[in-house]
Amino acid sequence: MILRLLALLAALLFASPAFAQAPAPPPGPVATIASPGNILSVELHLDPDGRPAYSVRRFGTEILSPSRLGFLLLNAPKLERGFQLASQATSTFDQTWEQPWGERRFVRNHYHELRARFTERAGLQRSFDVTFRVYDDGIGFRYEFPDQPNLRNVEITEELTEFALTQPATAWWIPAFEWNREEYLYNRTNLREVGTAQTPMTIRTEGGLHIAFHEAALIDYSGMNLTNMGNGRFRAALTPGTDGAKVRRAAPFPTPWRTLQISDNAAGLAMSNLILNLNEPNRLGDVSWVRPMKYVGVWWEMHLDRKTWASGPRHGATTENVRRHIDFAARHGFGGVLVEGWNVGWDGEWFGNGQDFSFTQPYPDFDLEGLARYGRSRGVQLIGHHETSGNAAHYESQMEDAFALYQRLGVGAVKTGYVADAGQNKVRAGDGSLLYVWHEGQAMNQHHMRVIEAAARHRISINAHEPTKDTGLRRTYPNMIAREGARGMEYSAWGNPGNPPEHEPNLVFTRMLAGPMDYTPGIFGMQTCAPGGVQTTWAKQLALYVVIYSPIQMAADLLVNYEANPRPFQFIVDVPVDWQESLVLNGEIGDYVTIARKDRASENWYIGSVTDEEGRLLQAPLSFLTPGRRYRAQIYRDGPTANYRGRPEDIVIEERIVTSRDTLTLRLAPGGGQAIRLVAMR
Ligand code: NOJ
Ligand code: CA
């Protein structure tokens, strides 16, 4: 009894001071907005200390509890508390726009918008605006720094934006700030175990809700990562800059959009157009010169260490080898031939270095002019290659000449590369010295914008490897045709480990939410330098052309492997790269996914289905086909003994007639897949 009394006394003594200091419960929201279908809603709050926050509900249930908004600054006091709501306005938007190329031709942009201005109640009386666009399938919000006397030069050391999740969840994520940029295998962990993650980060709550966190329109700002603050609360962690400030801008300016794609199922995430919709419309005008295409290249043979980028006896980019690739591309209707190692600069320590590269001078055994001419005569473009090794400063000093040369030669697309460890890109400071910077910091985002604008002036599209993250800027700059930004097929050539079978079903619901990826599928030669080789079946390699969206797709394998296997190769010849519509028929993150796409240039449909290391039976209802029409289904499926470990090459190719009333049962082997071409019959 005495003990219990003592415990009670102690509890009162220790609890009461905290109780006395606790702020009054937050008042109700100061502003609200709901999505067009009243599925999602956002509320804005101010706590008694004037701290702005937002919360998100779905069908009335809170999925983000009040999550803070604000900034730490280098040159001025923080923007964090002491605010009042100075104004608010709402509006509605509903427009359908057309993509010049893409996974679907028409995109509906339908949202309700809330724009709020927070102003400091006293002191400097500085303001920032927050704009929320609320869709039925997600939310985007961004800050705007208005023109104001007491905040002209904004030097941001950290964004205080939070995402306070209310439910336990499983997360799929890759770490931020590690040496290898964004080329990591995805972690699948309890949300509690996330450290600092790159975006997109995708979660599935205990209640089954799928949420992907990312950003849109990352322009002249630094990339956002997410730090786990505990108890489901995540906070923006901006990529560092060249000194204490992570972002330096003059007001007025907007930040990128912070995005949440929200869906009952994984398929819904992959169907969302949120990121594209939050970007500005095409700024380049006529972009008919941006050409989606398939390509082959002098490439995989280097990754298999049979040829070299460097000059010498094993040099890959010889006139004779490239000519062979042009002939092959012409024979099979491919638009381009990528040539790596064509230019002077590969002979020394090029990795993370870059100052020896010339972007205009070919090696003597590579006849650039003659090959470009020969390609043109056969309807095949050379695809240019600019490996910068992260030396953006050096590249910029030659970029204009390099693009002018390529334009003169009819080269319409360039693959750039930034092979350097994280934090090891080089940019030029105001005083001419070199500064080492991160791939996704503000300086590199400025660089990528200069590249894309210079390339556009020369009617060239850019496919950046080791890029900054994709945030949907292809809508504004349609010559941003694709990029890497994750572990590509190359890891199955030399990685240790290579890409495991779950990698692609992970990518579809994480990295691919950001935009197209130059994944380079199409491998039939499964023995590589990676232990375990390529960990898929052949049928899965074919399915990847449909599953991993890119308007440029490589047929990445050695030509001999295609020449020896013309029947499965036929799917790679037939599959288009530009789509009228895309539908995700089913999928679970990291497990499996089935996608159907309609060709933009015909009435034909294509289906790709891939699985992880588990074999599966999946149903694919064909209700998307035109009713009453018959289709010849050309099926490329895993054979009875197929297995990524045992007989990856066991593939059955067969035909049957189907209609919209049919449902196909897809049998996927472990590590397998299925690719189907549905040819509309007259
Ligand atoms: C890394 C790229 O991802 C790869 O495709 C390229 O071959 C090498 N860098 C060399 O530029
Ligand atoms: Ca790479």
Q: Take atom 2 of ligand 1 and give the residue whose Cα is closest.
A: 465
pLDDT value at residue 520? 98
Residue 303 CA, closest ligand 1 atom number: 7
Query: Longest C-alpha distance within the chain, in Å?
Result: 99
Kindly indicate the confidence band of residue 26, based on its pLDDT and cuts at 50, 70 and 90. Answer: low
Binding site membership of 85 for ligand 1 (Cβ less than 6 Å): no
In this structure, the strands spanning 210-216 and 257-263 are antiparallel
> Over 60: is that where the pLDDT of 315 sits?
yes
> Over the stretch 396-408, which tens digit does the pLDDT of each residue have?
999 999 999 999 9
pLDDT value at residue 213? 99
Closest CA to 144 of 292, 20, 255: 255
Give mean pLDDT, residues 146-163.
98
Choose one of 302, 303, 304, 340 to mutate for the ligand 1 pocket test, by most ligand atoms within 8 angstroms of C-beta: 340
241 φ, ψ (degrees, to nearest 5) = -105, -150
> Over the stretch 166-189, which tens digit does the pLDDT of each residue have?
999 999 999 999 999 999 999 999
Kindly indicate the confidence band of residue 9, based on its pLDDT and cuts at 50, 70 and 90. Answer: very low
Kindly indicate the confidence band of residue 13, based on its pLDDT and cuts at 50, 70 and 90. Answer: very low
Handedness of CA 676, 677, 680, 681 (dihedral sign): negative
Binding site membership of 142 for ligand 1 (Cβ less than 6 Å): no
- Higher-pLDDT residue of 24, 163: 163
* Percent of the chain predicted with pLDDT > 90: 95
Residue 488 CA, closest ligand 1 atom number: 3
> Over 90: is that where the pLDDT of 590 sits?
yes
Q: Take atom 11 of ligand 1 and give the residue whose Cα is closest.
A: 387
> Over the stretch 103-126, which tens digit does the pLDDT of each residue have?
999 999 999 999 999 999 999 999
pLDDT value at residue 28? 86
In this structure, the strands spanning 138-145 and 253-254 are antiparallel
Residue 465 CA, closest ligand 1 atom number: 3
Residue 385 CA, closest ligand 1 atom number: 11
Binding site membership of 182 for ligand 1 (Cβ less than 6 Å): no
- pTM of structure: 0.95
* Percent of the chain predicted with pLDDT > 70: 96
Say how many C-beta atoms besides its own lie within 10 A of residue 576's C-beta: 21
Q: Take atom 7 of ligand 1 and give the residue whose Cα is closest.
A: 299
Instruction: Give me the catalytic one of 43, 182, 440, 490.
Output: 490
Closest CA to 267 of 668, 680, 618: 618
Query: How far is the centre of ligand 1, averaged over its atoms, from the C-alpha of 340 (Å)?
Result: 8
pLDDT value at residue 373? 98
Query: How far is the centre of ligand 1, averaged over its atoms, from the C-alpha of 465 (Å)?
Result: 7
Binding site membership of 612 for ligand 1 (Cβ less than 6 Å): no
Query: How far is the centre of ligand 1, averaged over its atoms, from the C-alpha of 320 (Å)?
Result: 22
Closest CA to 453 of 426, 477, 470, 482: 477
> Over 70: is that where the pLDDT of 417 sits?
yes
Choose one of 343, 353, 439, 465 to mutate for the ligand 1 pocket test, by most ligand atoms within 8 angstroms of C-beta: 465
Give, in degrees to the nearest 5, the angle at Cα 74 between 73 and 80.
Answer: 20
Kindly indicate the confidence band of residue 27, based on its pLDDT and cuts at 50, 70 and 90. Answer: low
Neighbours of ion ligand 2 (CB under 5 A): 465
Per-residue exposure over 531-568, b if at least 16 CB sit within 10 Å of its own CB, e if not: ebbbbbbbbbbbbbbbbbbbbbbbbbbbbebbeebeeb
490 counts as catalytic: yes
Across the chain, mean pLDDT equals: 96
Could you tell me if 460 and 403 are in contact, meaning their C-beta atoms sit under 8 angstroms apart? yes
Query: How far is the centre of ligand 2, averaged over its atoms, from the C-alpha of 486 (Å)?
Result: 7
Give mean pLDDT, residues 507-533.
98
d(CA 425, CA 561): 37
> Over 70: is that where the pLDDT of 422 sits?
yes
Separation of CA 525 from chain center = 28
Closest CA to 662 of 596, 602, 612: 596
Query: How far is the centre of ligand 2, averaged over its atoms, from the C-alpha of 418 (Å)?
Result: 8
Distances 123 to 77, 84, 119, 128 between C-alpha atoms, Å? 11, 13, 10, 15
Instruction: List residues bridging with 337 in a β-sheet.
Output: 296, 382
Q: Take atom 10 of ligand 1 and give the residue whose Cα is closest.
A: 387
Query: How far is the centre of ligand 2, averaged over its atoms, from the C-alpha of 497 (Å)?
Result: 15
Query: How far is the centre of ligand 1, averaged over its atoms, from the C-alpha of 417 (Å)?
Result: 6
Over the Cα atoms of the chain, what is R_g?
Answer: 26
User: Quick one: CA torsion of 485, 490, 491, 492, rounded to 10 degrees?
Assistant: 140
Per-residue exposure over 297-309, b if at least 16 CB sit within 10 Å of its own CB, e if not: bbbbbbbbeebbb
Closest CA to 388 of 340, 350, 428: 350
Lookup result for tokens 């045709």: 481
Cis peptide before 478 (omega within 30 of 0): no
pLDDT value at residue 523? 98
Choose one of 356, 357, 387 to mutate for the ligand 1 pocket test, by most ligand atoms within 8 angstroms of C-beta: 387
Sheet hosting strand 605-611, strand order edge to edge: 579-588, 592-599, 605-611, 673-680, 631-638, 651-658
> Over 70: is that where the pLDDT of 309 sits?
yes
Binding site membership of 484 for ligand 1 (Cβ less than 6 Å): yes
Could you tell me if 407 and 399 are in contact, meaning their C-beta atoms sit under 8 angstroms apart? no
Closest CA to 307 of 321, 295, 294, 319: 321
